[in-house]
Structure 1
Amino acid sequence: MMPARNPLEAHLTHLADALPPYRRFEPLLARWGAALAQHLTAGGRLLVAGNGGSAAEAQHLTAELVGKLREDRQPLSAIALHAETSALTAIGNDYGYEEVFARQVRAHGRPDDVLLLLSTSGGSANLLAAARAGRQAGLRCWAFTGPAPNPLADACHEALAVDCPDSQVVQELHLVSSHLLCEYVERAMAEQPAVAAYVAPVVPAASDAPAVGPVRAGVEVVLDGGAGRPVEA
């Protein structure tokens, strides 16, 4: 009987097996990155959502877009719907957990905006409801999922479906996908002259603040309708 592999070897084997088929997504990520760069630099918005670990990865993606991945550039509008905790809990309480993302999509999404939904299973009811709401509102709906076919991949216009039965490996390659997507966004932005010339605003240091006159303490009282001299208290 063969001895059981240790967890590290088992995990790395699953990851190694998933990498060759993952390489086929390079054209998709490059195309998505170019589309996002064009839409977001023109004032459009990316909405993202996920549950559990996928929520953390979706929020990682928005942080890279609002901030930066490598070089400084124009900040981009990207919102993680699950991070809006007051709205999330209010909607869940009033409408049910299935609606926590769909209602926010209807509130924030505009035609031609992009909705990206992350799920290892591809079967989360609240993400499926969000995809339906996004399509009804005219958003472009994309998904990061586990193996296809799955309901979420079918509900979206396009999907990056990682071909691996191990959900941990799927999440790890979703993180790789987020980094690559940001990489392609920034590469496409660098090719746009107006965006490439972006200069971050400079916040003046305290020593650069404009000079002001002396500050008077107390109350000034004007006598005789302004004819008298002010008396300082």
Structure 2
Amino acid sequence: MTTHKSFSDVIQEHQQVTNQLTSCTPLITAASKLIISSLTSGHKLLLCGNGGSAADCQHFAAELVIRYHKNRRAYPAIALTTDSSILTAHANDFAFDSLFSRQVEALGNAGDCLIAISTSGNSENIIQAAITAKQQNMTVIGLIGGDGGRLKERVDMPIVIPSHTTARIQEAHMLIYHWWCEKVDEVSA
């Protein structure tokens, strides 16, 4: 049986999820402070995700490198999802599970921050990236959905969106990283 949702139904689902984000507010706020501290002290953000979450990585990185609302200095943010030569060489020579961890190994340093995005929390390549980042003394923030999956235990700050609907989780992730961009704008000259 096919269920037909109206646009009003989708809006209602979205509102239910965003209303529940208040339970995540302390962690979201702490993560914003960590991101700002990392960026303003000369460190960088690395971001990884698959599919729509990969697009979110690129979107967030672009807002930090170019600008969000305010003209300000550029901040170093690298979406590990964008270099087709690295991605295809890795796919050819290694397993997909280490796709992002290999890049974290090459690019990440102590004091940097990894933003690991997974709507399920069970993407093995994201989990492996988080493990590698922690081995390199990076802080790991997880934007996760559902029950947090296995990634929840591998990150320093697990921000778990209380939904099992991928689209609603991604909408909440975007709301969060846009707010983080606003906070970066507030402290930037």
Q: Same fold (TM over 0.5)?
A: yes
Aligned to 2:96: 97
The one-letter amino acid paired with 1:105 is: V
The secondary structure found in structure 1 opposite 2:114 is strand
CA distance in 1, matches of 2:158, 2:150: 11
Question: Counterparts of 1:138 and 1:116 in 2: how far apart (Å)?
Answer: 14
Number of aligned residue pairs: give it. 187
- The residue aligned with 1:185 is 184
Query: Looking at CA atoms only, which structure, 1 or 2, has the larger radius of gyration?
Result: 1
Equivalent-residue separation in structure 1 for 2:7 and 2:81 (angstroms) = 31
User: For the Cα contact (< 8 Å) 1:146–1:165, is it kept in 2?
Assistant: yes
Tell me the equivalent position of 1:158. Answer: 157
In 1, are the aligned partners of 2:46 and 2:78 still within 8 Å (CA)? yes
- The Cα shift of 1:35 comes to 2.2
- CA distance in 1 between partners of 2:35 and 2:185 (Å): 10
Deviation at 1:5, TM superposition (A): 5.5
Per-residue Cα deviation, 1:137-175 (whole angstroms, up to 9, x for no partner): 111011101022411111111111110121110011111
Task: Give deviations 1:16-42, integer Å, cap 9, x for gaps.
Answer: 221221123333233222222222122
Match of 2:173 in 1: 174
Find the aligned partners of 1:181 and 1:141 in 2 and give their Cα distance. 15
Residue 127 of structure 2 corresponds to residue 128 of structure 1: yes
> 1:211 aligns to what?
none
Q: Distance in 2 between matches of 1:57 and 1:180?
A: 14
CA distance in 1, matches of 2:37, 2:102: 26
Gap runs ≥5 in structure 1: 191-195, 197-233
Alignment correspondent of 2:147: 148
Return the TM-score normalized by structure 2.
0.93
1:165 maps to amino acid: H
Q: Which residue of 1 aligns with 2:111?
A: 112
**TM-aligned CA deviation for residue 61 of structure 1:** 0.2
Match of 1:82, SS?
coil
Deviations along 1:184-226, one digit per CA (max 9) or x if unpaired, are 1222x24xxxxx2xxxxxxxxxxxxxxxxxxxxxxxxxxxxxx
Gapped regions of structure 2 (runs ≥ 5): none
Tell which has more relative contact order, 1 or 2 (C-alpha 8 A, sep 6+).
2
Structure 2 counterparts to residues 1-233 of structure 1, below 5 A:
6-187=5-186, 189-190=187-188, 196=189
Provide the TM-score with structure 1 as the length reference: 0.76
Q: Is the 8 A contact 2:31 2:141 kept in 1?
A: no
SS in 1 for 2:74: coil
What amino acid does structure 1 have at the position aligned with 2:77?
Answer: A
Which amino acid in structure 1 is aligned with residue 172 of structure 2? L
Which amino acid is the alignment partner of residue 145 of structure 1? I
**Secondary structure, aligned partner of 2:133:** helix
Question: CA 1:93–1:5 in 2, change beyond 3 Å: closer, same or farther?
Answer: closer
